[in-house]
Chain A
Amino acid sequence: MKKGIITVIGKDKVGIIGKVCILLSENNVNILDISQTILQDYFNMLMIVDLDGNAISYNELVNKLEECGKNLGVQIKIQHEDIFTCMHRV
């Protein structure tokens, strides 16, 4: 399974998780795990998603998430999980 990691960082407000989840479900991206913390008013969310069944191309998904982040005033990033495993595991 190809997994993606979505990170959302920014000022907390109503509806961040909701908006991101709707966007993902509209594009058939399954969420495998979610966790979030608030650090000094800053919203910090990590999502692990399944990138095998997405209805749109990966590049389109990147753009949509970026746009969604702009509307919410937060930074949203998606990355393939391999970059983390290769850097942090011998």
Chain B
Amino acid sequence: MISHLEILETNKMIQEENLDIRTITMGIDLMDTATDNIDKLCNKIYDKIGFEAEKLVQTADDVALKYAIPIVNKRIAITPIALVAASTKSDSYVKIAKTLDKVSQEVGVNFIGGYSALVDKGYSESSKILIKSLPEALSETDRVCASVNVGSTRTGINMDVVHELGYRIKEIAKLTERRESIGCAKFVVFCNAPDDNPFMAGAFHGVGQSDTVIHVGVSGPGVVKRALMNVKGASFEQMCECIKRTSFKMTRAGQMIAQEVANNLNIPFGIIDLSLAPTPAIGDSVAEILEEMGLESAGAHGSTLALAILNDSVKKGGVMASSRVGGLSGAFIPVSEDHAMIKAAESGLLTLDKLEAMTCVCSVGLDMIAIPGDTPSSTISAIIGDEMAIGMINGKTTAVRIIPAVGKSVGDYVEFGGLLGQAPIMSVHKASAEKLMQRGGRIPAPIHSFKN
């Protein structure tokens, strides 16, 4: 029998410490919609998503009510459009992006991910068309999220695409200039992209999965922070144990909710991604956890260590709780979405270089970082290149979601509002990487890819 204390503990986590199901993401395979005519393709995509996701929001809301735990976002991930649209031979996929925007609005999801291309080994014609159309697609839609996987530990890094993306990201920023360059917040560059990640902007439905699937992302940095308050001054072992226990409980709740949503929709349950994802709300911050662990501020020496402990312990607790842990699972460190990160960046304690070091041990990478609008595209490519190298060599997922805010420089802010928050413009190094980026070609697969 459950004790009163346990009931109160769960309710306190939900009500006071922001434990929530951050997202229920429905993965939908679109390969069967492929056809040689783009208008026909758009119709088929519209019909398929509309049919599959019709009951997603209602079902998720009902389950949330049953357990009185909020499910904050309902989202859709689809097969990378560069694959789906290849046979149309069309010269732009913007029409598809608009279709995705329309249908996602109609079924009531707030984001749809999968306007994506996988180019880690080669640059197919279809991927070229998709990447070329990114600026227009992201500026003319609200809910469509895009991603490009440019590298992996098995294959190396496609530097031609990294070079081009420097330009494209600046174009996206330019075209969405009047909305604080928000288009860039909907675009991620990946190395080792997971094909079952439920979190945006990088979600897409990988090719090895079932027709439809339900993934879930659980979050609750506040819960971990509150738990850590009970082990102030205790040893590292005790601290790790505390994080593990907390993450166990959170994962269990997420798994049960996702399983039930999946059962009610009669589609398979995929993975649970336990990622501590901050929101701009006070008490819902990853940087606050680092501070609770014993740092004066995020960005101080010791931040990488603290984040490594957090990430590892979260995974261990999650793996014990569920055999379906997948996606990114760990801790996210998006600057604009975390009030304590913003504060650390404002005060100069948290720099881009320190963030890069922290991405070696966190679950993803440089996330939601605003930089001056006049940053050369080769510098943006070089930032991406650095991050991709970390992913490739260390066999982990890394990503870059960076916003070169047009017309802004260090000291200014971009304000996105809502979950995307606000970001102070962070400085980048002035020394050029132009010649390195201009070399072109691919970086060969690293030595530890030869495992066979």
Contact = CB atoms under 8 A, between A and B. Distances in A.
B129 interface: no
Interface of B: 2, 4, 6-11, 62, 65-69, 249-250, 252-253, 255-256
Interface string A49-79: 0000000001100100000000000000111
Interface of A: 5, 7, 35, 46, 58-59, 62, 77-88
Contacts of B68: 77-79, 83
Closest 7 CB pairs of A and B: A83-B67, A87-B249, A84-B2, A86-B252, A88-B6, A79-B68, A86-B256
Contacts of A87: 6, 10, 249-250, 252-253
Which has the most chain A C-beta neighbours within 10 Å: B4, B8, B250, B255?
B4
B249 A83 contact: no
B11 A86 contact: no
7 contacts: A7-B11, A79-B68, A80-B67, A83-B10, A87-B249, A87-B250, A88-B2
A58 B66 contact: yes
Which has the most chain B C-beta neighbours within 10 Å: A5, A46, A62, A88?
A88
A59 B4 CA distance: 24
B256 A82 contact: yes
Which has the most chain B C-beta neighbours within 10 Å: A59, A85, A86?
A86
Contacts, number: 51
B343 to A, nearest CB: 32
A89 B255 CA distance: 14
A46 B7 contact: yes
A7 B14 CA distance: 13
Contact of B65 (A7, A46, A62, A82): A62
A79 B2 contact: no
B256 A5 contact: no
A26 B256 CA distance: 31
Contacts of B69: 79, 83
A35 B65 contact: no
A83 B253 CA distance: 6
A73 to B, nearest CB: 17
A85 to B, nearest CB: 6
Contacts of A83: 10, 67-69, 253, 256
A77 B10 CA distance: 13
